[in-house]
Structure formats: C-alpha cells, structure tokens
Amino acid sequence: MSEPTKIAVPTEGAGGAEAARSAHFGHAASFTIVEILDGSIVGTDTIANPPHTAGGCGMTVKLLADAGVSTAIVVGMGGGPMAAMQSYGMTAMFDDQSATPRAAVEALLAGKLAAFGSDHTCRGH
C-alpha cells in the first residue's frame, strides 16, 4: 500500500479540516496537514507553528518538511520561505478563495489551483 501525500494549509487557532485559513504562511497559528491517497482525503492532523520570532519562516518550512509535507496551499508567503520550500523539494500552490483547509485541498484535487509564483510573494510588512 502506498503512503498518503501530505498537504499543509496554514490555519488560524488549533487548525483542523474546517478551521479558518490563515492568510500568511509564516504567521499562521497552526498548519492543518491533509493526507491524500488515491485522490481522496483520508486523514488530517495539525501542527502548531512556532512563533515567528523563534526562527522565522525557515523554521516553519523545516517543521513541515520533517512532517513529510510535500505541498502547501497558501494565500501569502515571502520569497525566503518559497525558496526554502523549493530546497526541500516541496511545492507551493496559490489559493485565495477557499475558506477552509478541506475546501482548499478539494480545489487542488479538482485542478483549480495554480502554482504559487513570484507574482504572489509578499514584499515585506
């Protein structure tokens, strides 16, 4: 049996499949990890995001990579974490429409999301 693919979605609060999505990758309170197998959602988990002052977005990317995440669905993210994701072989997808992690992953599975590109990156705060 093959292993599920893990997709991370930045979320508010404790996270979960029906949680509100966080609009900014590095400042999310948590990440909801959605597991996909054979094109279907088979499970979810959550990971608390360390405070941004504890190491910035690079620490967050490493946390997700260590958890086996291959893809993140994001609204906003800077160039640094985007480059860090690429160095770990992870992919970022852009979605500023879905309200929950479940809806975002369903949009990804339906082929409705585009790759997160330099035109989407945050330019500072």
Q: Domains of the chain by range and CATH?
A: 5-120 (3.30.420.130)
The string of DSSP letters for 75-106 reads: SB-BHHHHHHHHHTT-EEEE-SS-SSHHHHHH
User: What is the pLDDT, as a whole number, of residue 125?
Assistant: 44
- Which of 4-8, 27-31, 32-36, 109-113 has the least mean pLDDT? 27-31
Q: How far is CA 3 from CA 8, 38, 73, 107, in A?
A: 16, 10, 20, 21
- 53-108 pLDDT, tens digit each: 655 666 889 999 999 999 999 998 888 888 899 999 999 999 999 999 999 999 99
User: What is the pLDDT, as a whole number, of residue 119?
Assistant: 63
- 17-59 pLDDT, tens digit each: 999 999 988 889 999 999 999 999 999 999 999 876 655 666 8
Strands 30-37 vs 114-115: parallel, antiparallel or unpaired: unpaired
Query: Residue 27 and residue 102: Cα distance in Å, rounded?
Result: 20
Helices (H), 30-88: 56-66, 79-87
Query: Residue 59 and residue 42: Cα distance in Å, rounded?
Result: 27
